[in-house]
Copies of this chain bind each other. A is one copy, B any other.
């Protein structure tokens, strides 16, 4: 393998993804696994990292840049949040630097917002990658997922961000609640999804009293499980989009994330009158970590 510039890692709650990056940002090798904050104690991170890097034959003089939950309390080492009132690139200046097995490692912090209280770890790196790639300082970004994030960036700072538990609520309600019995299987009926969106579009204040319609509709109107699952998803994504209307109503939403879920958000936003551009999450993570390498490591070389 060509001598790499650095190793980039997105080290999360339940898993990690690692890329060996060469000159010009080329990915020379990659690795992933189910080891994250949930399964690793802080003292286990160094050995795990060295095992991975030696299996890939990465010399100890190659630095490592990490984003994600590895920097949370209970992760490898806590990298205290920067606040959203700081310029976002201060994420790099505030990285925690350490030596692990004679190797230089930087762990990037997340971003905290005081009012209302909110935190992110990992998404800020994708946003930094996006700003770097597009050379922009202002945008609206949506990162759909278990915990969806909506972020408004103005003048290179995160002006405001919100988190919605939409993905986690969908999993809990469709698998563990009374709605589960009518949401079985993996079928998906677009008509149900649009009906759920419409319910929230026309009566956004009725979210709390709309969920049970998933069950009652299946009993009284013979909706099949594919329709019911999609209706539940439409209600949840619809409620999120009505709550975040101030982000997307007047501006393009840059949608970052895994393809199937991002496709649902794309469809929903477009249906509700938003304008959407889709972006690849991995590309942006790598761009953000590469910008970290440039800011933190290259000046010292």
Residue of B nearest to A223 (CB): B117
Q: Is A5 an interface residue (CB 8 A)?
A: no
Complex CA distance for A146 and B244, rounded to whole angstroms: 28
Stretch at the interface among A23-31, A134-142, A205-213, A293-301: A205-213
Q: Is A172 an interface residue (CB 8 A)?
A: yes
Chain A 195-227 near chain B by CB (<8 Å), digits 1 or 0: 000000000111111111101110111000000
Complex CA distance for A242 and B177, rounded to whole angstroms: 23
Interchain CB contact under 8 A, A208 and B168: no
Known: A177-B168, A243-B206. A213 touches B119 (CB 8 A): no
Residue of B nearest to A243 (CB): B208
Interface centre among A119, A146, A165, A217, by most B CB within 10 Å? A165
Residues of chain B within 8 A of A240, CB atoms compared = 208-209
Interchain CB contact under 8 A, A220 and B117: yes
> Taking the nearest CB of chain B, how far is it from the CB of A37, in angstroms?
11
Residue of B nearest to A165 (CB): B211
Q: Is A32 an interface residue (CB 8 A)?
A: no
Residue of B nearest to A241 (CB): B208
Oligomer copy total:
2
Residues of chain B within 8 A of A178, CB atoms compared = 146-147, 165, 168
Chain A 146-186 near chain B by CB (<8 Å), digits 1 or 0: 11001000000000001111101100110011110000000
Complex CA distance for A162 and B207, rounded to whole angstroms: 11
Interchain CB contact under 8 A, B172 and A208: no
Known: A168-B177, A168-B178. A117 touches B208 (CB 8 A): no
Contact residues of A between 47 and 77, Cβ < 8 Å to B: 73
Known: A208-B243, A243-B205. A219 touches B119 (CB 8 A): yes
Interchain CB contact under 8 A, B117 and A221: yes
Contact residues of A between 277 and 293, Cβ < 8 Å to B: none
Q: Is A7 an interface residue (CB 8 A)?
A: no
Q: Is A3 an interface residue (CB 8 A)?
A: no
> Taking the nearest CB of chain B, how far is it from the CB of A160, in angstroms?
11
Q: Is A33 an interface residue (CB 8 A)?
A: no
Q: Is A114 an interface residue (CB 8 A)?
A: yes
List 22 contacting pairs A-B, 8 Å CB cutoff, sorted by A. Answer: A73-B219, A117-B213, A117-B216, A117-B217, A117-B220, A119-B215, A119-B219, A150-B209, A162-B209, A163-B209, A164-B208, A164-B209, A165-B208, A165-B212, A166-B208, A168-B177, A169-B211, A172-B176, A176-B176, A207-B208, A208-B243, A209-B244
**6 smallest beta-carbon distances between A and B, as pairs:** A163-B212, A117-B216, A162-B209, A208-B243, A117-B217, A208-B239
